[in-house]
A = this chain, B = another copy of it.
Amino acid sequence: MYVTIPTENSSTFAFLPLCGTTTPQTIQTHLEPGAYLYYEGDEVEWLYQVTSGVVRLTRLLSDGRRQVIAFGYPGDIIGFPASGNHHTDCEALTDTYLQPYRRSILEGGASDPKLYSALLHAALNEISAMQDHFMMLGRKSANEKLASFLCVLAARVGTDLGASRSVNLPMSRSDIADFLGLTTETVSRTFTQLRNSKVITIENIHTVIIHRPTALLALSQGHHT
């Protein structure tokens, strides 16, 4: 499942490896930070489940405008094809391992039904996550967007520190901006606001400590102050 605004089922999809008993065991793919797994338009030969690391899925407009569609965390399935070609670029943000699956497993129901069912459910979860993301892109303010983003990441991959919570951000500010439909400047300013209001501390550029999770959640839903 992808990073999106909080829903009650955010945490219910723990990392569930797809590998069924009948799946042909393919060796894992390894990507170093900055390496591309595929580009938009490439023919889809494989689907991948992220085993470890984080990838970024992006689309480009001809004039260079960019939209980050999703960040792929362990457990996420990436590379779902609609027409037979990839419709995003995929780049690794960290050292990443992925389990490949042949695209053909989508074609025939003849193959492993368990795997097939798992894929369908992965697709359905992705649709649900994307619907949340719509609301964020279309209807939320910069503050709400960033607060939502941090809330989801905290729930998904945050580290409990007792009262507070630590979140690692492997992506750049401009990745965050392009995910939320903002500019890097606005993302930066919004981080500063959150820091000034003591909701978060920015430990370093890739680590944020959430001191007041409930306040952040309130902000993500538009409750001011």
Contact = CB atoms under 8 A, between A and B. Distances in A.
Most-contacted residue by chain B among A125, A135, A221 (CB, 10 A): A135
Interface residues on A, range: 35 or more
A114 to B, nearest CB: 8
Secondary structure class of chain A's binding surface, majority of residues? helix
A67 B133 CA distance: 10
Interface string A71-114: 00000000011110001100000000000000000110110011
A124 B123 contact: yes
Contacts of A114: 109
Interface string A42-69: 0000000000000000010111011101
Contact of A9 (B82, B109, B221): B82
A164 interface: no
A138 B65 CA distance: 10
A143 to B, nearest CB: 14
A61 B109 contact: no
A201 to B, nearest CB: 28
Interface of A: 9, 12, 59, 61-63, 65-67, 69, 80-83, 87-88, 106-107, 109-110, 113-114, 116-117, 119-121, 123-131, 133-135, 137-139, 178, 180-181, 221-222
The 4 closest A-B pairs by CB, nearest first: A138-B181, A109-B113, A82-B128, A137-B137
